[in-house]
Amino acid sequence: MPSYDPNNIFAKILRGELPCYKVYEDDKVLAFLDIMPRSPGHTLVLPKAPARNILDISADDLAHVITAAQKVAKAAVKAFSADGITIQQFNEGAGGQVVFHLHLHVIPRKAGVAMKPPASEKEKPDVLAEHAKKLAAAISG
């Protein structure tokens, strides 16, 4: 397996070199909106640890990521009146991974509404900002 690249886009976001629509952060995890959401509120949850994917992250860091994803999922159900949540996580190119920093997709779903295709449409910045504000408020309670 290739090694972790510290110049991947998520590493740059973690270092503050690129902006994001942050919804949650603690000492081990950052969660922010996907700029090409498959549904409103589509959030990426990633460890601050430099892990390429699930194959090389420590068990403790992985546990923290899934706990944060659950927190985001519960808040997304409230904030977006979701009927369900889809959680996706891909490993290596053959597994569908595109950005090689471990991340979970937390996607709020409405019954009968299909998700948009991956990376199909960039959302407007004002919409993302409003969604981030709404979701962050639901997370903080």
Q: Give the predicted TM-score (pTM) of the model.
A: 0.97
The domain spans of the chain are: 9-140
**9-140: CATH class:** alpha beta
Which contacts qualify for 33-38: CB closer than 8 Å, 24 or more apart? Answer: 33/123, 33/128, 33/131, 33/132, 33/135, 34/105, 35/122, 35/123, 35/128, 36/118, 36/119, 36/120, 36/121, 36/122, 36/123, 37/107, 37/116, 37/123, 38/105, 38/107, 38/115, 38/116, 38/117, 38/118
pLDDT by 10s per residue, the chain, length 141? 789 999 999 999 999 999 999 999 999 999 999 999 999 999 999 999 999 999 999 999 999 999 999 999 999 999 999 999 999 999 999 999 999 999 999 999 999 999 999 999 999 999 999 999 999 999 998
Point out the residues that are catalytic: 103
